[in-house]
Copies of this chain bind each other. A is one copy, B any other.
Amino acid sequence: MKSGNPLLLLIEDDPQFQMLLNTTLQSQGFYVLAVGTGQAGLIAVRNQQPSLLILDLGLPDMDGQEVISRLRKWSEIPIIVLSARDQETDITLALDHGADDYLTKPFSPAVLISRIKALLRRVAKLPGGALEVFQVGELKVELTRRRVFVSIKEISLTPIEFNLLSELVRHAGFVVTHRQLLEKVWGASHVEHSHYLRIYMAQLRHKLESDPARPRYLLTEAGVGYRLNEAEN
């Protein structure tokens, strides 16, 4: 299940408090997965790969600090800790073990929300998340780096060539109409110049295809537009 909204994992043993948080978070558009033990939490992080973890330190089955330490051996998931304990040593211990934030109970739900968003915003630029890579056969397109490879050889594309290819990559497997391509690459005032497309598609094929006359990736959909083949054949 892929969707725009982030999935938050909540590890909290008090059912009432769990329910309360659940409602608050969902009202902000987050998906929430709630578990009651550290064990279940560790498993959920591995299996569900949530975007962020909200961890109550007081757990029945294991020490909250230990949950953090164990997680950090193999995961970089953002962690916000909740705790009734406000001693300096508790806070520094949790943070030093690898937590990202620490809130003492009682806390304002609005502040929790803002802190979650702040952390997600910070983490949104992680390499894994930001690096959009499309690959089919020999062809590899790294959108965020603006780099294109055929097998391991890097291909240099001009801005128009790259923007055109991007638009096809973003809709890989689907036809993109002439109008759509022209509008994205040249702007709304050039939607009539479908001639440009032929020129640049030819150039792209020349650079990316082994046999430009019989393209494997950049396919023509006569009368409609072009399509980037996403399946090997």
Q: Are A114 and B92 in contact (CB under 8 A)?
A: yes
Q: Are B114 and A95 in contact (CB under 8 A)?
A: yes
User: Which residues of chain B are near A145, meaning CB under 8 Å?
Assistant: 173-175
Contact-residue size bin, chain A (C-beta under 8 Å from the other chain): 35 or more
Q: What separation, in Å, do the CA atoms of A99 and B118 have in the docked complex?
A: 7
Given A118-B100, A175-B146, are A88 and B76 also a contact pair (CB < 8 Å)?
A: no
Q: Give me 13 A-to-B residue pairs in the complex whose CB atoms sit less than 8 angstroms apart, sorted by A's number.
A: A76-B125, A78-B122, A88-B110, A92-B111, A92-B114, A95-B114, A96-B117, A101-B101, A125-B126, A126-B127, A127-B127, A145-B174, A158-B223
A positions within 8 Å CB-CB of B: 76, 78, 88, 91-92, 95-96, 98-101, 108, 110-111, 113-115, 117-119, 121-123, 125-128, 130, 144-146, 158-159, 173-175, 221-224
